[in-house]
Structure 1
């Protein structure tokens, strides 16, 4: 992999991407002796479970159910790491939402490097190389996390009660499978909140302090796809063609957030998982206020205007309205104490996403946005 000591726009991606209806057939192309398939317990009742298991081309396949709830902690990963160690797979496949893919990346990391210390874990690009023991595939079943094309895995630090990113380009999978059929069984309210994450990745990455011309094009296309389906989000069922295009949008936006990082909305949302506020919902509620906050800067307002124009969205109001459509005016009705707000604000400023937000913010700004939106 290219190693640079100076800033230069580079496109880093998964090795291979199979996409479209029946893309799961790509599992037949895996070359491995022992494959560990990491899933959520609910996928065992899926109509596609037996087929996915059967398609994996290996002498032995072990299904491992995730051992964590939302974002995993080191302690919660221990059972899965133990099962990987006992089975000794040479290929690991993660099937599920962003939490499953991120958790599996981390379990894979500790499977390959069991003595890894916390001093290295959270230091970006300081991890030892992967693939000494296993390759990795990701099959997302939601429409926004972008974890399948991300160099990061998010985990929960119990000490600070905040999310932290573990970062290495080795996390980029050997194989990504985007199969819309595997998304059809996910509840629509879950899918809607994951689409808000697609929007947040695209929009925050576009106005980020990290400039990457290619990623701007991807962000415009991702937003354009989501906007095109704005009148379909209220339908009782989503057609496979729509799911497939939204998968593309999620991947495009995932590329954007992986190369340009994100911003203020994510910096706050990363602190809300410990309060049982889902990541997609948090971004859906926060983004309108974050856009207003950033609009105070004329040059940033011009970048938003460029994104809106190039994506074919008529106005800023229509852009903000997409979040209203997707989260349906939800409020968490969460009452935070001043002490909790202090912790959220302090950790938001320390979050890596804070550094790339185009407008500087302080703790009072964070508190005001949280009170306004949640």
Structure 2
């Protein structure tokens, strides 16, 4: 038996942010990241909508790109002091992920971070507050999903925490917000959408419901991501990508993912490479590896009317100025192959233990994952 769970309300389209005026309550805490939501006026707009509805509003900002355990604990304490009945997460995947875990720890101050890592133990929420997620990027789909990713900065490991309890109550999908994304973030987050959809299709947990959403998301990405990248103010392209992100999120939230995400989590935790970029580089090679054990890649090719899906992913990366190998990335220390090979075994062992590996269509072990890492590092196709 399978389960398909999404937020109770999904509000989308231009000016969907105004849906905040319909909330009923007394106190709202807005959780956000850096300065972009403030810079472009979205933070003030969200606050005004809430205050116009008689909410007292407090802001918890400064959630970093990879939210840490320390930040989660600070947010927990802020919520315990303020006692909100609504938590409003606005921004990229990081503040949304952080808000989910802060929420759980606010409602259950006694639980530990380690305890939350086991889904079957996850405590019941909505005793004190409910959650609204408002994405500013078209990629993570955290506004739809049951997962929050937190980084242990001391051990350089990312932990995906998952439970149906942290699926947001309301997702507000307004295309005006992502229209302010820089081009490289549009590219990286858009490729994360493609990875979510592709891995949901090839996952051993796929179903008719998830396949329908995921294949449409893939079609939207190939058509509209290059437009959104080259024409940032094209609202139609932004809306289509924002919808594709949410649809891919609905798919993988039920079907789960595969080893592209397992590998991306670990190389991201070790080197700080952004998640979407890591997935963009890994996906062609992972797809080449996985197609030996699933007919779903052939199905994607028939649906898209193309002959080689992994090559089509590479061509899309080129259009978005994304490198085809880790050694060609800049700013993460991966140009130094000595450092990469020093960490290769540890990353591969950790990736094998990642929850996303469980639903990969082809069996793996740390040695196989190390070989996939090497192919993606060098930009060499996988033919076996």
1:10-49 maps to which residues of 2 (within 5 A)?
10-42=3-35, 43-49=37-43
- 1:177-188 to 2 correspondences below 5 Å: 177-188=172-183
Counterpart in the other structure of 2:344: 341
Alignment partner of 1:373 is 2:376: yes
Given that 2:190 and 2:225 are in contact with CA atoms closer than 8 Å, whether structure 1 keeps it comes out as: no
Correspondence 1:259 to 2:217 = no
Q: Quick check: 1:122 aligned with 2:117?
A: yes
Residue in structure 2 matching 1:356, options 351, 355, 359: 359
Cross-structure match for 1:205:
200
Which of 286, 293, 297 does residue 304 from structure 1 map onto?
A: 297
Q: Secondary structure at the match of 2:26?
A: strand
Contact 1:91 1:136 in 2 (8 A): yes
**Is the Cα–Cα contact under 8 Å of residues 180 and 232 in structure 2 kept in the other structure?**
no
From the superposition, tell whether residues 369 and 324 of structure 1 become closer, same or farther in structure 2 (CA, over 3 Å). Answer: farther
| Aligned CA distance change for structure 1 residues 133 and 327 (closer, same or farther; 3 Å) | farther
Q: Confirm or deny that 1:294 pairs with 2:290.
A: yes
1:311 Cα deviation (Å)? 4.1
| Contact 2:33-2:64 within 8 A present in 1 as well | no
Q: Over residues 282-329 of structure 1, what are the superposed CA-to-partner deviations in whole Å (9 max), with x where a residue is unaligned?
A: 0000111111111233xx1x2111122224555423244223333532
Query: Are 1:269 and 2:292 matched, yes or no?
Result: no
Q: Secondary structure at the match of 2:133?
A: strand
Structure 1 unmatched ranges of 5 or more = 1-7
* TM-superposition CA deviations, 1:122-150 (whole Å, max 9, x none): 11131110011101000001111011111
Shift in alpha-carbon separation, 1:79–1:362, aligned structure 2, 3 A: same
Aligned length: 363
2:203 aligned counterpart, secondary structure: coil
Tell me which moved more, 210-219 or 70-79.
70-79
Match of 2:61 in 1: 65
Question: TM-score, with normalisation over the residues of structure 2?
Answer: 0.89
Deviates more, 1:322-331 or 1:13-22: 322-331
**Matches of 2:54 and 2:279 in 1, distance apart?**
40
Unaligned runs of 5+ in 2: 378-384
1:328 to 319, 322, 327: 322
Q: What pairs with 1:16-165 in structure 2 (closer than 5 Å)?
A: 16-42=9-35, 43-56=37-50, 57-66=53-62, 68-158=63-153, 160-165=155-160
Distance in 2, matches of 1:192 and 1:157, equals 26
| Cα distance change, pair 231–151 in 1 and its aligned pair in 2 (3 A) | closer
Contact (CA 8 Å) 1:308, 1:319: kept in 2 or not? Answer: no
Q: Secondary structure at the match of 1:32?
A: coil
Cα displacement string for residues 17-40 of structure 1 (whole angstroms, at most 9, x for unaligned residues): 110001011000111100001112
TM-score (norm 1): 0.92
Residues 203 and 361, structure 2, Cα contact 8 Å, conserved in 1: yes
Match of 1:250 in 2: 245
Q: Which whole-Å deviations, capped at 9, do the CAs of 1:180-228 have from their partners, x for residues lacking one?
A: 1111211111111001110001101101111311100111100011111
Aligned to 1:169: 164
Contact residue 313 and residue 319 of structure 1 kept, 8 A = no
Deviation at 1:60, TM superposition (A): 0.5
Assess, with a 3 A threshold, how the Cα gap between structure 1 residues 168 and 268 changes in structure 2: closer, same or farther. same
